[in-house]
Amino acid sequence: MLSTRVLNRTLLARQHLLERSRSSAAAMVEYLVGLQAQDVLPPFVGLWNRIEGFDPAAVSAGLSDRSLARLTLMRGTIHLVTARDAVRIAPHIQPELEKVPFRKGFYFGETVGLDPEEVRAHGERLVGAEPVTTAQLRAHAARLWPDRKPAAVVQAWLYQLAVLQVPPRGMWGHNERPSWARIEPWLGLALDREYPRAELLARYLAAFGPASTMDMQTWSRFTGLKPDVDSLGDRLRRYTDERGRTLYDLADAELADPDLPAPARLLGWYDNVFLSHQDRTRIVPATSVYKPDLRAYEAPFLVDGFAAGTYRIERTSDTAQLVLRPSRALNRRESAELTAEADRLLAFVEPDRARTVVQKPPE
């Protein structure tokens, strides 16, 4: 039986959150099967937490030379992935994405009555190898269907077509509104429709395991996973957790020592480590009041390996203040370690502003 603490330390070890790696940014992005990138900053914070001496210019360069890409993948959310993962993963995600725009309730019924194939045909003419802005797409949508909300039609195109966000969106220091292009012509790679779904699950286990089939489904939104899991055969071993659930892991993957120290870490909002398990007690204590407000750009921090509060960065024209809000009482050592790590993160994110770190009392 695997204890919660074993699962915690194993997850942190595999995520390189116990000790930073010396790998390249591209290698880390691929190992993690992508980084959640709904906003621009979080993947940079995620890589800073995981790579020793991380240089954000590496991500900008990868987006520029098209070895990295930003597109809608797992859970219908934007991920930063390598180009070769973009064309391997998209074929598994795209069929479900294409169903979304014409489901009941999409944009409060704005697409009801539209012909999906007609919508797609217009989208295919508008989005190709050259970047097109969302504003440009809205203008076309308003012309084609003046009785519909343009935003609904644009979102339908972005789900129906295999598209990605093009730079400068996603580059360090850039937060422009996204422009879009088709995956294949932009990357110069064909979609790999033969890449096995089971291989994605094996890679998930390498970075997030041990995990249940429900955890795998939460991460991927894939359904009907049992045949994929069964196909991995002897590559997997089985465990049980404290609740008696069956957990799968790669047969040659190591479990971490539950007594390993876990340094304080300030993660990006939407960090994969919080979104990739149905049962999050391995990183969010069952009794925790942890509840980040993602609309306010609050992000979680870890103390002794578990979520222990949130932080946010408040900026003026020339100052930046990182505000820590613990959800439990921290001892003197924990508080000092957390503040020191917060100061390092703030220096990374805001090198040109006067910086302060403030720790609030537990709520």
* 57: CB partners within 8 A, 6+ apart: 172
In this prediction, residue 287 has a pLDDT band, given cuts at 50, 70 and 90, of confident
In the chain, % of residues over pLDDT 90? 93
User: Helices marked H in the chain — which ranges?
Assistant: 4-14, 25-31, 41-50, 57-65, 83-99, 116-126, 134-144, 150-160, 183-187, 197-208, 213-220, 226-231, 272-275, 332-349
Encode pLDDT of 196-238 as tens digits. 999 999 999 999 999 999 999 999 999 999 999 999 999 999 9
Looking at residue 244, what DSSP letter applies? -
Q: What is the mean pLDDT of the chain?
A: 95
Q: What are the tens digits of pLDDT across the range 65-93?
A: 999 999 999 999 999 999 999 999 999 99
* pLDDT of amino acid 104: 83
Q: Where are the domains of the chain?
A: 1-283, 288-359
Contact 269, 301 (CB under 8 A): no
Question: Is the pLDDT score of 288 beyond 90?
Answer: no
pLDDT (mean) for 327-337? 96
Given a cut of 80, whether residue 177 has pLDDT beyond it is yes
Judge whether 85 and 30 are in contact, CB under 8 Å: yes
- pTM score, two decimals? 0.95
| CB-side neighbour CA atoms (13 Å) of 98 | 15
Can you give the pLDDT at residue 277? 96
- Going by C-beta distance under 8 Å and a sequence separation of 6 or more, which residues neighbour residue 89? 33, 34, 73, 74, 81, 195, 200
Condensed to tens digits (0 to 9), the pLDDT of residues 132-143 reads 999 999 999 999
pLDDT band of 97, cuts 50, 70, 90: very high
Contact 335, 359 (CB under 8 A): yes
Q: Rounded distance, CA 136 to CA 180, Å?
A: 10
Q: How far apart are CA 69 and CA 59, in angstroms?
A: 10
Provide Rg for the chain, Cα atoms.
21
Own/partner long-range contacts of 146-149 (Cβ < 8 Å, ≥24 apart): 148/110, 148/111, 148/114, 149/107, 149/110
- What span, in angstroms and rounded, lies between the C-alpha atoms of 352 and 324? 21
pLDDT the model gives residue 286: 81
319-326 and 354-359 as β-strands: parallel, antiparallel, unpaired?
A: parallel
* pLDDT exceeds cutoff 90 at 307: yes
Tokens 């996204």 map to which residue?
Answer: 178
Whether the per-residue pLDDT at 289 is higher than 70: the answer is no
